[in-house]
Amino acid sequence: MSVNNPTCPQDCTSTLPAASFDVCAPETHFGQIKKLYIANDGYPLTDWTDASEWATRIDNASTSSNAIRELTIIGSLARAESSEKKISGGRTVKGKKTRTLSIKVDETNDINYEFLRTLECGLSYRVWYATDDHLYGGNDGILMTLNIDEVIPENEEDYVLFEGEGKWFSQFAPERTANIIA
């Protein structure tokens, strides 16, 4: 599987990548991860920017092992935790980052409860996530472990949630494209 990561500079004379800011019309995007797409490991997409490929794979009831499950969530991505190590000459090098995707599912029906229970087997899955504007994960998705539990609140006016996180380790943030399946 291939991931389209940046090519890191090999020395201090490399050209910096382009940057873009607009004083009159800055481009901004609203938060909240609203969809989580989960597939078995070993079933990447051929072209994740092709809406028709997604349409053939997303199916929450399919018995096919290459089906992608679509979860409606309330989610966020925290700032990645980075490790640094001091080396000779007063230099510092960075290792892979720990990335954490927070997940809340508020539709807690029996089918989703059984899905949650199966996630407790501890397997790794290929995952993509989406905001209104962007889809993240590239053709291969992000290989991550999901740790989601049922949370029953004390207050009888609050809703039960399935809550937890997905974690993965990577030097780079995942690939991003316009959300063509919103």
**Torsion region of 2: left, alpha or beta (phi above 0 gives left; psi -120 to 50 gives alpha):** beta
For the stretch 47-101, pLDDT in tens is 999 999 999 999 999 999 999 999 999 999 999 999 888 999 998 888 889 999 9
For the stretch 5-51, pLDDT in tens is 887 777 788 888 889 999 999 998 999 999 999 999 989 999 999 99
Section 153-165 average pLDDT: 97
Residues 153 and 101: their CA atoms lie apart, in Å, by: 22
Structure token pair of residue 46: 């051929």
Local structure of 98: helix, strand or coil: strand
**Predicted local confidence at residue 14, as pLDDT:** 84
Residue 2 has pLDDT above 70, yes or no: no
Residue 153 has pLDDT above 90, yes or no: yes
**Predicted local confidence at residue 182, as pLDDT:** 84
Section 152-176 average pLDDT: 96
For the stretch 112-139, pLDDT in tens is 999 999 999 999 999 999 999 999 999 9
Structure token pair of residue 123: 């397997």
pTM of the model: 0.89
pLDDT band at 1 (very low <50, low <70, confident <90, very high): low
